[in-house]
C-alpha cells in the first residue's frame, strides 16, 4: 500500500477524538482516520467494534474494501499511551498513522505512532474545511 504523506491533524478532529475518548471512558473509543487534503480530518466509527475497559479491537473484516484510511485511533482508560502488543499487531495491518489518546484526555494526553509503533510527531493544524472541502487557513 502506498504511504501517504500527512501534514498534520485538524484541531477540531483532535478535539473530537479527545471528547469521544472522554465520553467513552472507562471503555475504549476506536475509529479509523481519514484525510482531506493531506490533513487528518475525519474519524470513522466502526460498527462491530468491541469495546471493553481492557482492550479495544478493530474488526478489520467489518470494513468496506474500498474504504481508504491512513490509520487508526483509540483511547486508553489509563495514563499510559504506549501501544500494547495487540495495538502493534493492529497498527501493522492498516495505515501508517495510529493515534492513542489516554486519560485524562487533555491536549497533552495523546500520541501518534507509525505502523511499527515508533512515535511520530504530527502537527495540530488550526484549519477548517468548508462545504466545498476547500482548505481554509
- Cα pseudo-dihedral 13, 14, 16, 19, rounded to 10: 180
Catalytic residue among 28, 36, 38, 107: 28
**Is residue 110 a contact residue for Zn ion (CB under 5 A)?**
no
With respect to Zn ion, which residue has the nearer C-beta, 49 or 129? 49
With respect to Zn ion, which residue has the nearer C-beta, 87 or 96? 87
Q: Quick count: other Cβ atoms within 10 Å of Cβ 130?
A: 8
Pick the closest to residue 36 from 120, 130, 114 (CA basis). Answer: 130
**Is residue 87 a contact residue for Zn ion (CB under 5 A)?**
yes
The site map against Zn ion for 47-86 (x = CB under 5 A) is: -------------------------------------x--
Cα angle 36-42-45, degrees, rounded to a multiple of 5: 150
Name the helix (H) or strand (E) containing 89. Answer: helix 85-91
Question: How big is the site for Zn ion, counted in residues (CB under 5 A)?
Answer: 2
The residue nearest Zn ion at its CB is 87
Shortest distance (Å) from residue 5 CB to Zn ion: 25
With respect to Zn ion, which residue has the nearer C-beta, 80 or 126? 80
Between strands 97-102 and 110-113, the pairing is antiparallel
19 is catalytic: no
Query: What's the residue count for the chain?
Result: 137
Phi, psi of 9 (to 5 degrees): -120, 140
Active-site residues, by number, are 28
Using CB under 5 A, list all residues that contact Zn ion.
84, 87
Amino acid at each position: 500500500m502506498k504511504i501517504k504523506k500527512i501534514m498534520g491533524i485538524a484541531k477540531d478532529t483532535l478535539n473530537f477524538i479527545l471528547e469521544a475518548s472522554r465520553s467513552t471512558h472507562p471503555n475504549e473509543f476506536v475509529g479509523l482516520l481519514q484525510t482531506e487534503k493531506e490533513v487528518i480530518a475525519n474519524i470513522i466509527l466502526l460498527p462491530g467494534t468491541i469495546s471493553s475497559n481492557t482492550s479495544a479491537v478493530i474488526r478489520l473484516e467489518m470494513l468496506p474494501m474500498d474504504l481508504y484510511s491512513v490509520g487508526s485511533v483509540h483511547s486508553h482508560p489509563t495514563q499510559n499511551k504506549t501501544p500494547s502488543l495487540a495495538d502493534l499487531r493492529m497498527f501493522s495491518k492498516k495505515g501508517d498513522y495510529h493515534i492513542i489518546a489516554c486519560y485524562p484526555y487533555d491536549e497533552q494526553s495523546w500520541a501518534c505512532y507509525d505502523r511499527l509503533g515508533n512515535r511520530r510527531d504530527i502537527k495540530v493544524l488550526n484549519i477548517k474545511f468548508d462545504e466545498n472541502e476547500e482548505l481554509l487557513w
